[in-house]
Amino acid sequence: MLIWENVRERVGVITDLEHQGDAITHQIMAQLHRTFVVPFDREDIALLAHSLDDVTDFIHSAADAMLLYKVERPTVKVKEMLDIVVQAATEMERAIFEMHDFIDRNQLLNRCVEIHRLENVGDSLHRSALAELFVDPIDIAHLIKWREIYHHIETAIDRCEDVANILEGVALRYA
């Protein structure tokens, strides 16, 4: 019995959001090929769309693994790591929204610095979570499932940093 409520439904929502993200990425790419004038380099737009899609893919992978492995409750480290994902996603959203009319180099770079900081925190949490798994590695199945879940979340955080790297390039070239 799962302690979480409506886990299957919540993972379903994440799956739906990931599919919506895929559709948006395809729309961006199609629009990019039809548009003559773009606000900044086509390659940057394509990289940004694909990197954002990668973030959602790994969030989905983590949620799906938790469902498949019948996780009864998240660990403290998972909660902390997912909080980092949410904070980084919020910074990415703000950065992209703020670029809509005008690219403010300093503001965009500040958002990128914050995403990099969050990624460093995520790396520390990931290492700490893995270390905890090996303190008393009696249950190998437990170790394997949590190592995979932690890896998916940490990779989502890394992909957030990839987005920040693209945004930094845009800030430096176009602002």
The answer, yes or no, to whether residue 2 has pLDDT greater than 60, is no
pLDDT of residue 5: 64
pLDDT of residue 46: 86
- Per-residue pLDDT reduced to its tens digit, 40-57: 677 888 899 999 999 999
The answer, yes or no, to whether residue 38 has pLDDT greater than 70, is no
The answer, yes or no, to whether residue 30 has pLDDT greater than 50, is yes
- Per-residue pLDDT reduced to its tens digit, 65-105: 998 998 878 889 999 999 999 999 999 999 988 887 777 88
pLDDT of residue 59: 95
Encoded amino acid at 1, one letter:
M
Q: Could you tell me which CATH number the domain at 7-174 has?
A: 1.20.58.220
pLDDT of residue 62: 94
The answer, yes or no, to whether residue 21 has pLDDT greater than 80, is yes
Q: What is the DSSP letter of 104?
A: -
> The pTM is what?
0.86
- Could you tell me if 133 and 146 are in contact, meaning their C-beta atoms sit under 8 angstroms apart? yes
Tokens representing 67 are 């469902």
CA distance linking residue 60 with residue 1, whole number of Å: 22
Q: DSSP string spanning 158-174? A: HHHHHHHHHHHHHHHHH
Confidence of residue 123 (pLDDT cuts 50, 70, 90): very high
Domain ranges of the chain: 7-174
59 CB-near residues (< 8 Å, 6+ apart): 14, 18, 85, 152, 153, 156
- Per-residue pLDDT reduced to its tens digit, 137-167: 778 888 899 999 999 999 999 999 999 999 9
pLDDT of residue 32: 75
- Could you tell me if 78 and 153 are in contact, meaning their C-beta atoms sit under 8 angstroms apart? yes
